[in-house]
Structure formats: structure tokens, C-alpha cells
Amino acid sequence: MQIIDGKKVSAQVKEEVKNQTLELIEKHGITPGLAVVIVGNDSASRVYVNNKKKACEAVGFKSEEYALPEQTTQEELLSLVKTLNEKADINGILVQLPLPKHLDDKAVIEAINPEKDVDAFHAVNVGKIMLGEYDFLPCTPAGVMEMLHSYDISVSGKNCVVIGRSNIVGKPMAMLLLHENGTVTICHSRTKNLAEVCSHADILVAAVGKPKFVTADMVKEGAVVIDVGMDRDENGKLCGDVDFENVKDKCSFITPVPGGVGPMTIATLMKNTLKAAKLQNNIFD
Ligand code: GUN
């Protein structure tokens, strides 16, 4: 069994982004800029946003944070997005989800200029991913693929099972695995015999948001298990969707939480922001 080290792979990706950013600044005088918008006081979102800002600094990007109060109106948020769409020194716009309940996240995402949509959540970018002709890859699924590549884990012809069908992870994850010729099944709350379906997976991706949901009986001997969860166990301790201690010995590869998928999400965000800066300035290298 090998533990996939997301921190290590993420550091390699960020190093590459940093070098390319230096080159972009030196050759073209362009510094990639990311605007991160956070509304309200969700504590997990605060941690994610802080990590995103730190990563921007580490790779040499400019980052701007817009922290809006809980009671921000839809009009105010849309107006900020419009301003950021028009701001030349901002290449990427990220509105941290979830938004407070009174706000319409779909309308906000659709208001972002697709060329600055570094989350790849806008319908235009989702459609391009479906067609396999994308500029930006969704951060978490692309981070998972990068990990698999880094450990020479081939997807082609494998049984891939994704648990969870969210627009942020499950659906695009399935699509990226399909692009690499995996045989893909998406499981969700209505799936019959979910444990049995999972137990046939060569590559199992858990993105359900339930602590320790994947137990040893659901995992095939020698499987690759990827844990996208960021949950809290009964003692309030950070854990994933996979019961790591009991599952790990059955796996060929497994990602830990923390230190697995999380850092990869941010590494992809950096890649996307760099790419956005290049595309917006007609640099195609
Ligand atoms: N909330 C949880 N994950 C994400 C993400 O990748 N992007 C944004 N914008 N919000 C999130």
C-alpha cells in the first residue's frame, strides 16, 4: 500500500506555476491576478480562502480578497462580479461556495466572465469539459487526475466508481475519468447496492461529504482509493469520506485527509489562473 502524498505533488505543480509566472512577468510584464470573493462567516470557507491567498503569494500572483458580510444582497454580489469582470489586472474570479442561503449561486456563477472562471463552474466551461475541448479544468477533479498521473496510475480500461454527483466534484470527476478511457459509474443516494458497486472499483473516488462513509467491505483488494471528503468525525476531528485506518491495507494506493486531494485543488486553481492570464493576453505557449 502506498499513500499518495498530495502535498508533495501539489508543491511540484506550484513550483512549475511559479517558474512560468516568473517568465510571464519577465517576458511580458504580466502578473496573474486572482480575486477571491467570500460572503458571510462559514469557517471552512475562511480556511479555504486563506489557503488560496497563501498559494497565490507563493507562486507570485497578485491576489485580492473581497470579504462581504452575510447580509450582502444578490444585486451587490452581482455588481461586484461585474466590476471584477471588467478589471484588467484580475484574470481569475473565484466566488467561494457555499453562499448564504438567500443568494442564488447559479446566477452568480453565470455572471462570471467564462474567461475568468478559474473554477470552471460556468455553463460554458462545463459544456466545454463535456466536449473535451476545455481551457480550464475543474480544480478538484483535475487535482485528482494530476495525482494519478504523478503516481503512474493508469485509468484506461479500469472500473472507476465515483460516489457523489455534485456539479463541483462528482459529475466533472466522472467526465475526466471517461476522457482517459475509464469505465465510469456514478453512485449517489438512490443507488441500489452501493457497497457492492463500489466493491468492483479499480479506482474508487469518494465525494459524498459523509465522514468515514467508505468502509473496508466496499473496497476491492488492490484498489486505488481517492478521498475527496473534508468531514469531521464524532470527536470533531478532521477526516475524509473514507474510513482510512480500516481501508488502507486493502488498497494499492490511497489518499489521506488532510494532505491528499485538498492541496491538489489549490494547485489546479493556480494552474488555471496562470492559463487565464496567458489566454487573456493572447499568449499561447
Ligand atoms: N467550495 C468548495 N470547493 C470549492 C471550489 O473548488 N471552488 C469554490 N469556489 N468553492 C468551493
pLDDT tops 90 at residue 262: yes
The answer to whether domain 29-113 and domain 139-262 are alike in fold is yes
Report the CATH fold assignment for 29-113. Rossmann fold (3.40.50)
- Cα 166 versus chain centre, distance: 12
Domain range annotation of the chain? 29-113, 139-262
52 is catalytic: yes
What is d(CA 122, CA 193) in angstroms, rounded to the nearest whole number?
33
Q: Is 186 in a helix, a strand, or coil? A: strand
What is d(CA 104, CA 106) in angstroms, rounded to the nearest whole number?
6
- In Å, how far are 189, 227, 242, 267 from 144, measured between CA atoms? 22, 9, 15, 11
Q: Which helix (H) or strand (E) holds 3?
A: strand 2-3
Confirm or reject: Cβ of 94 under 6 Å from ligand 1: yes
Q: Which helix (H) or strand (E) holds 60?
A: none
Question: Which pLDDT tens digit goes with each residue over 152-179?
Answer: 999 999 999 999 999 999 999 999 999 9
Pocket perturbation via mutation, ligand 1, pick of 50, 97, 125, 126 by most ligand atoms within 8 A of CB:
97
CA-based nearest residue to 164, from 184, 178, 182: 184
- Encoded amino acid at 147, one letter: M
Enter the C-alpha cell of residue 21: 509566472
Confirm or reject: Cβ of 168 under 6 Å from ligand 1: yes
Q: Is 74 in a helix, a strand, or coil? A: helix
96 is catalytic: yes
Residue with CA closest to ligand 1 atom 9:
96
Residue with CA closest to ligand 1 atom 3:
97
Confirm or reject: Cβ of 272 under 6 Å from ligand 1: no
119 is catalytic: yes
Enter the C-alpha cell of residue 34: 486572482
Residue 27: what pLDDT?
97
Report the CATH fold assignment for 139-262. Rossmann fold (3.40.50)
Enter the C-alpha cell of residue 106: 447559479
What is d(CA 281, CA 285) in angstroms, rounded to the nearest whole number?
11
Q: For the chain, what is the mean pLDDT?
A: 98
pLDDT tops 90 at residue 131: yes
What is d(CA 72, CA 37) in angstroms, rounded to the nearest whole number?
12
Percent of the chain's residues with pLDDT above 90: 100
Question: Which pLDDT tens digit goes with each residue over 83-123?
Answer: 999 999 999 999 999 999 999 999 999 999 999 999 999 99
Q: Which atom of ligand 1 is nearest to the CA of 95?
A: 9
- Predicted confidence band of residue 285 (pLDDT cuts 50, 70, 90): confident
Active-site hit among 119, 202, 231, 243: 119
Mean pLDDT of 47-64: 97
Residue 153: what pLDDT?
98
| 261-280 and 6-28 helices, crossing angle to 10° | 20
- Predicted confidence band of residue 63 (pLDDT cuts 50, 70, 90): very high
Contact 11, 265 (CB under 8 A): no
CA-based nearest residue to 77, from 97, 52, 55, 54: 97
Active-site hit among 14, 20, 96, 231: 96
DSSP string, 245-256: HHHGGGEEEE--
Q: Rounded to two decimals, what is the model's pTM? A: 0.97
